[in-house]
Chains A and B, each alone.
Chain A
Amino acid sequence: MPNATFFLISLVKCGVVLFVLLTLVAYIQLAERKIVGRMQSRVGPTRVGPFGLLQPAADAIKFILKEDITPDSAHKFLYLLSPALSATLSMLAITVIPIGGGTVRLFGQNTPMQITDINVGLLFILGVTSLGVYGIVLAGWSSNSKYSLLGSLRGASQMVSYELALGLALIGPIILAGSLSLRHIVEAQQHYWFIVPQFLAFLIYLTAAFAETNRIPFDLPEAEGELGAGYHTEYSAMKFALFFLAEYINMITVSCVATLVFLGGWHGPVFGPALLRAILPLVWFVLKVCFFLFLYIWVRGTLPRFRYDQLMAFGWKVLVPLALGNILVTSLIVGLLA
């Protein structure tokens, strides 16, 4: 039976995770503006604070103080609910992500370095992130605007199509690890990272992940050229900020899963004195996640957008058959070797 200490530990861990997550979101978007700026021969934000480092705070204040417009024709309750739902569901996926192999001592008890260690962690993440479609669909429908509805329809069908490839691409590593617990999957990669035997699955996962998070080159729901801003055309101020938050948290989740499943999580060369040994796994993990986040920004600064029919054809006719083939080949090799 969980006692008071257990709740206290959980509460502290939730607080730490939320603080890190929200700060990270604030600074990824600053990094994105800086890096994309450099890629386009601009300097990005520089005015607020040294090197523009206080820009996220200025943005937050602006989000808070701006008028929040609700269109007369909108469905009031769902219009309010959908951004909150998007943000909540995106945060939920972080619950099971472990950031290190060991345990930390909190209030005299050893506790794993994640909010909770569920033995179906990967399934939990897949389930929660697929619920994210509801935020988009409800937002588009409740706004009662043409652009929003079209954007949400596109968004929903894009997300469900690529979720398929995403789920199928993860089967290969699961066969190799024999577990759905993210901790076990990382421990199974002690000798070699799964990106080596599962390189095709990694590429499929990466592509599908970009589509799942609605990022360039798959940001068709937002297609500013034709749909205003897609499903969040009618959203302003804090409600827009929540969609924004959800998108960036989803990016972090997807990067963490890619790191844990394909890049060996916190595994990396460990050396030096005891303190350094304790910190290095965390450093490797953070560096790998940052690499994926940089990749997102890099791709955004580089690639143009797909056309909608190309996007759907690519998902269904290239990624899904490739992922199925990968499962067959992987299981055949593992079965013959065993």
Chain B
Amino acid sequence: MPNNYVPALLFALIALLIPLGTLLLFRLVRPSRPFAAKSLPYECGIDPVGGSRHRFSVRYFLIAILFVLFDVETLFLLPWAIQFKHLGMFGLGEMVVFLGMLILGYFWLVQNGALELE
């Protein structure tokens, strides 16, 4: 029933207005006295060394890709889990094949050190 989503939308609107409202409204009572040293990025009290747009480890990228892969798997498991009691052993067999392939892939990843962070 799409009607059920109307209150959710209403709450989303309110939930968006509260943080933005407090940020913008209290600007009226907040002091604002910026100067050059205060507006520097924090680096333990000394002047920042170099920029912040560094190169970072490719492992983070790998983790993100693996997440997408396994999260889609979770997504496929959800409708199966709801209907499982009606699907019976046929549903179980299908899912064991699907999970089996993913688990094989998972062990391949572990074997090749995709999950080692150093």
Give chain A's interface residues, CB within 8 Å of chain B: 2, 6-7, 10-11, 13-14, 17-18, 64-73, 80, 83-84, 87-88, 91-92, 94-96, 115-119, 123-124, 143-150, 153, 156-157, 160-161, 163-164, 167-168, 171, 174-175, 178-180, 228, 233-234, 237-239, 242, 245, 308-309, 312-313, 316-317, 320-321, 324, 327-328, 331-332, 334-335, 338
Structural contact, A180 and B82, CB atoms closer than 8 A: yes
- Chain B residues within CB distance 8 Å of chain A: 3-8, 10-12, 14-16, 18-20, 22-23, 26-27, 29-34, 36, 38-44, 48, 52-54, 56, 59-60, 63-64, 66-67, 70-71, 74, 77-78, 81-85, 88-89, 91-92, 95-96, 99, 103, 106, 110, 115-118
Q: Which of B31, B53, B77, B96 has the most CB of A within 10 A?
A: B77
Residues B115 and A316 in contact, CB atoms below 8 Å apart: yes
Are B67's CB and A116's CB within 8 A?
no
Asked if B96 and A10 make an inter-chain contact with CB atoms under 8 angstroms apart, the answer reads: no
Count of inter-chain pairs, beta carbons less than 8 A = 209
Contact B38 A69 (CB under 8 A): yes
Interface CB pairs A-B, < 8 A, 6: A6-B3, A95-B12, A115-B8, A116-B7, A174-B82, A320-B70
Q: A115-B8, A116-B8, A180-B82 are in contact. Are A167 and B96 (CB under 8 A)?
A: no
Per the bound structure, the CA–CA distance linking A175 and B5 in Å amounts to 25
Q: How far is the CB of A105 from chain B (nearest CB, A)?
A: 17
Nearest first, the 4 A-B pairs at minimum CB distance are A145-B41, A10-B7, A84-B19, A91-B15
A18 and B54: CB pair below 8 A? no
Q: How far is the CA of A124 from the CA of B91 in the complex (A)?
A: 25
Pairwise interchain contact A2-B3, C-beta atoms closer than 8 A: yes
Q: Which residues of B contact A115 (CB under 8 A)?
A: 7-8, 11
